[in-house]
Copies of this chain bind each other. A is one copy, B any other.
Amino acid sequence: MNIDLDGILDSKRLAITRALSFVENSSDLDMSLTDSLFPHLGKAYRVGITGPPGAGKSSLVDRMIEYWRSQDKRVAVISVDPTSPFTGGAILGDRVRMGRHYADKGVFIRSMATRGSHGGLALRTQDAADIFDAAGYDIILYETVGVGQVELDVANAADTTLVVLVPESGDDIQAMKAGLMEIADLFVINKADRQGANQALTQIQSMLEMRHPEEDKWMPKVVKTSALQAEGTSGLMDVLLAHQEFLSAHGEFRQNFKTRIYEKIRSHVERKTLNKYWTSQKQDILNELLKQDDLSGLLPGKIVDSLLR
């Protein structure tokens, strides 16, 4: 495809929209977009937001946009939605909560459909974010639904990762903590006007305190918000600012940037290697073997070996 690089760099909406569609729909592993954009990357601040469905992430994002807009920052939001293979469309359900920002030219909200392509999703999200970065957006927010590994991968490819929970999450924090503790720079207890908010806050804080504090390492924070009531947003933004300053002071923005490009190159190389590996001949061998009626004599390990020869 023809990428309108100048249009993207000038932040023309049409050029951005076209490039995003290219990223979302291309099934090949074309890196021409990456190569074009690369010299223009590294200026945006990337924030990942994840948490269980119903935690109020969209309302919170709405408040964050409001805050950044009041400071004249331009904001892009990439919502990663689970997509059904049989409908093909992204779930736009609670995007309406951010609706009031759609008319604002300083805000760009885009849903990315996952279309079941596990491996590709994190890559595509990065590509989309790169477009916004090159287009001069100051802030790029990735929003993911769920707390699974792919969701964490996506959120974790950010400079700052927020994990949004609700007071009722208290009981479940134990189960979730392992995955979440690793990635969260900041926990948000949203809907904090509901019962149990302080208890949930204490639970998370005591879990965080169990970690051995490491020098030069960010200590995750916990804040309470009621995004619908616009409460707690300034406290949240203060912590975000503190984390940004920490990242700058420790050269971590640069390091994150390098890690992202490293991972992108590695993923592309691996996917291309596998594409090349699976010749139709090899696919056929495997398919034929499994068409047999009596599989009891099959030795799967031997099949692997012979496919690798």
Listed in ascending order, the chain A residues whose CB lies under 8 Å from chain B are: 31-32, 34-35, 38-39, 52-54, 81-87, 91, 93-94, 114, 118, 145-153, 168-169, 171-172, 174-179, 181-182, 211, 257-258, 261-262, 264-266, 268-270, 272-274, 276-277, 286, 290, 295-304, 307-308
Q: How far apart sit A148 and B34, CA to CA, in the bound complex (Å)?
A: 28
- Complex contact A300–B175 (CB within 8 A): no
Q: How far apart sit A86 and B83, CA to CA, in the bound complex (Å)?
A: 33
Q: Which residues does chain B contribute within 8 Å of A277, judged by CB atoms?
A: 269-270, 273
Q: Which residues does chain B contribute within 8 Å of A38, judged by CB atoms?
A: 296, 298-300
Best-buried of A32, A82, A85, A277 by chain B (most CB within 10 Å): A82
Q: How far apart sit A211 and B128, CA to CA, in the bound complex (Å)?
A: 31
Q: How far is the CB of A82 from chain B (nearest CB, A)?
A: 4
Q: Which residues does chain B contribute within 8 Å of A272, judged by CB atoms?
A: 304, 308
- Complex contact B83–A304 (CB within 8 A): no
Q: How far apart sit A86 and B178, CA to CA, in the bound complex (Å)?
A: 9
Q: How far is the CB of A167 from chain B (nearest CB, A)?
A: 12
Of the residues B86, B151, B178, contact of A148 by C-beta under 8 Å? B151
Of the residues B35, B145, B171, B262, contact of A175 by C-beta under 8 Å? B145
